[in-house]
Chains A and B, each alone.
Chain A
Amino acid sequence: MSSEEQNPDPLFTSILVDGKEYQAPLGGRLIDFLHSIGKNIPHFCYHKGLPVAASCRQCQIESKGKGPRPGLAVSCRETIIEGMEILTDSEIVQKARAGVMEFLLLNHPLDCPICDKAGECMLQDTAYSTGQSRGRTQEPRKHFDKRKSLGDKILLDNERCILCTRCVRFFEAVTKDPQLTVLDRGDRSYLSTFMGDPLHGNYQGNIVDICPVGALTLKKFRFKSRVWFLHATETICGLCSKGCNISVETRDNKILRIRPRYNAEINDYWMCDEGRLMFDRYNLEVGETRLPSPFFIDENGERIPISIEEAFKKLSPLFLRQKEILMVLSPFATIEEGWAFKELAETLEKLGLEPTFGYYQPDPNAKGDEFLHTDEPAPNCKGLREEVGLKAIPPEDLENVNSKKVALFGFGFGELLDQSTLESIAAEGPMLYMGVRSDLFPAAKVQLASLSPMEKAGHWINCDGIKQFVRPALKAPVLAKDDFQLLTELLEAFISWEENQIDIPDEEIMGTEEVRT
């Protein structure tokens, strides 16, 4: 105690909260500090990632000492100074908050049974804990436009809006492209875009997350499921090399929505609409587009489901009798898979083959911006290049290639390869396709069912060199195997064939005319 008195930390000061002394960061925001010590301060307009508006007046506290004028003060606006004395739950505070809630609920429709936000709605929670259960007004509630479309992604319900202006401030302060505003005065105020134009830009979905009520809803998630049925998994977005932290919310093994997770180093509280909305590529139906188990295509072009052991047996002549093979790993592969892939290719080299191997490096697209999205449409190019040390295979190398000598490993070729390359490879069929889609390379001689990035675990390195862990959010089909496991088993199989000098009969050589000499 004495040492503290001698050397007081210049960054901290002691303040009194509800009669108890705390060490608070000097100049910090009061509401953040009150939340951090476990005080329940309800709030609507305040958001950590946005500038302060102090318009909802729900976070009021009572001030007694220095700082704000004695009486009620709005805690989101106050910075911590020396000698503060604060009451968070006094009678006057409770009365003020209840009054604010009554005004907010005055014209709010009783929509909770049909509102998508119900269950994670801040207004609902606060009304339940502090509000009164019956309204005192006799007048009919005000009615606004209930289904106003703001572009092709977002729907606005002006009746539910409590005018906290979080969405307005998001476009003003975060994307620096103001698009929304509050029009009219007093109780006729409503939210609108400028001149009623639809919203534009790649970051619209964030206003749905930060909306404290159900006024802004995502069209893609509208009425899909109640939020309490969703099962959230914390993982990483793979649609560009930024590696935004996301929470994937699933129900019945289907992704229904994706929301950003806070990470100060990468994406803060935000994510782009591409990552938020383009999850259909992971929701593959077994029997339609999902490869459920390993397949083998015989001479007549018939698909025969086989076991993994059989698949390896079919693969041995394809690999061992071919001298030059182009082995391409998808940039969606994790670091671990990169190591296994490299080991596999180097083993083939030792066996006397001359494989060209590397990861597929897609051309930069023009989708990059200064905020989050990058030009690279794949998550782990940097990791495979710098951590694993694989060679980059540009798209030109795949354009005019004998597709019978190509082996493709991993998820994402359907999205990354351009249409003409895809068709030219798919026409003859690569000799091996390890992936998740059955409609992509139906002519591939051997097809191994592996997992999509939403189904497996591993590490990705983003464009800034940050290594992040990917968690499985979905369950894979029973017979599909993890890419890393398949690669290591394939490696073991190759080694054992070469050691045992297994003689492969000619009739098992499928569609490979060029025999290794």
Chain B
Amino acid sequence: MKVKRMEKKLSFMEKLSIPEILKGLSITFRNMFKPKVTRLYPEERYKAPIALKGQPLLVENEDGTPRCVACSMCEVVCPALAITIKAEETERYIEREPEEFSIDMLRCILCGLCEEVCPKEAIIMSDRYELANFTRESLVFHKDRLMTPIKELEGRIRFTKEKFDKWHR
């Protein structure tokens, strides 16, 4: 069987390859002076926008008490069954607070339903996105690691309030 070879006839300039090389190098040199989009990750960290749904955290009031009243609404709504709550009695006017509050970040899908359902604005999706570790136990966050002073979460609390108010109007 005859095989017919199709070859493009290259011109002299094309055979030289120099214009193509120059074209490629021009892109390289142009990009050398453009602003960088990559970063040296562990040293330079990404500051997430306020709309990011990161690690859910519990809000700690200014006097050190938890805002959470252990009403279990987040436990009910959680589609991944990541939240476990055990309530206890306190001496404060709000009689109830969580004795045990754990979020299993291996199960959490960061959907933000817990933040949305919370009647007390006590559980807030923070901007923490680095959720990796070496053991499974270290990724089950208990109350001591979840409690965060209200100052760190103020931006997100304001953001969600505006957002939910708009929806519920």
Contact = CB atoms under 8 A, between A and B. Distances in A.
A114 B69 contact: yes
Given A114-B70, A147-B95, A223-B96, 7 more contacts: A113-B71, A114-B71, A146-B93, A223-B70, A223-B89, A226-B75, A228-B76
Contacts of A112: 71
Contacts of A222: 89
Interface in A141-161: 146-147
A363 B44 CA distance: 79
Contacts of A229: 72
A223 B96 CA distance: 8
Interface in B61-79: 69-73, 75-76
A89 B120 CA distance: 36
Interface residues of B, number: 16
Contacts of B10: none
B94 interface: yes
A112 B69 CA distance: 10
Contact of B88 (A113, A118, A146, A223): A223
Contact of B71 (A146, A147, A224, A226): A226
18 contacts: A112-B71, A113-B69, A113-B71, A113-B96, A113-B120, A114-B94, A114-B95, A114-B96, A146-B93, A146-B95, A147-B95, A223-B87, A223-B88, A223-B96, A226-B71, A226-B75, A226-B76, A229-B72
Contact of A113 (B73, B89, B93): B73
Nearest to B72: A226
Interface of B: 69-73, 75-76, 87-89, 93-96, 119-120
B85 to A, nearest CB: 9
Interface in A209-233: 222-224, 226, 228-229
B110 to A, nearest CB: 24
Nearest to A228: B76
Q: Which of A114, A146, A147, A228 has its CB near the most chain B CB atoms (within 10 A)?
A: A114
Nearest to B118: A113
A146 B96 CA distance: 13
A215 B93 CA distance: 16
A228 B73 CA distance: 11
A25 B110 CA distance: 58
A146 B95 CA distance: 9
Contacts of A223: 70, 87-89, 96
Listed from nearest, the 8 A-B pairs whose CB atoms lie closest are A113-B71, A114-B96, A223-B87, A226-B72, A114-B69, A113-B69, A113-B119, A223-B96
Nearest to B120: A113
A480 B125 CA distance: 45
A340 to B, nearest CB: 42
A147 B94 CA distance: 11
A375 B42 CA distance: 74
Contacts of B89: 222-223
A226 B75 CA distance: 10
Contacts of B96: 113-114, 223
Nearest to A222: B89
Contacts of A226: 71-72, 75-76
A226 B88 CA distance: 12
A271 B93 CA distance: 33
Interface string A95-134: 0000000000000000011100010000000000000000
A229 B70 CA distance: 14
A114 B119 CA distance: 11
Residue picked from B76, B87, B88, most chain A C-beta under 10 Å: B87
Nearest to A226: B72
B115 to A, nearest CB: 15
Nearest to A157: B95
A205 B123 CA distance: 35
A229 B71 CA distance: 12
Nearest to A110: B119
A114 B88 CA distance: 10
A112 B87 CA distance: 14
A222 B124 CA distance: 27
* Most chain B CB within a 10 A radius of its CB, from A223, A224, A229: A223
A224 B96 CA distance: 11
A118 B119 CA distance: 14
A479 to B, nearest CB: 28
A142 to B, nearest CB: 15
Interface in A3-57: none
Interface string A224-247: 101011000000000000000000
B61 to A, nearest CB: 16
A217 to B, nearest CB: 10
Nearest to B87: A223
Contacts of A118: 71
A228 B88 CA distance: 18
Contacts of A114: 69-71, 94-96
Contacts of B76: 226, 228
B76 to A, nearest CB: 7
B78 to A, nearest CB: 13
A113 B69 CA distance: 7
A282 to B, nearest CB: 21
A377 B72 CA distance: 38
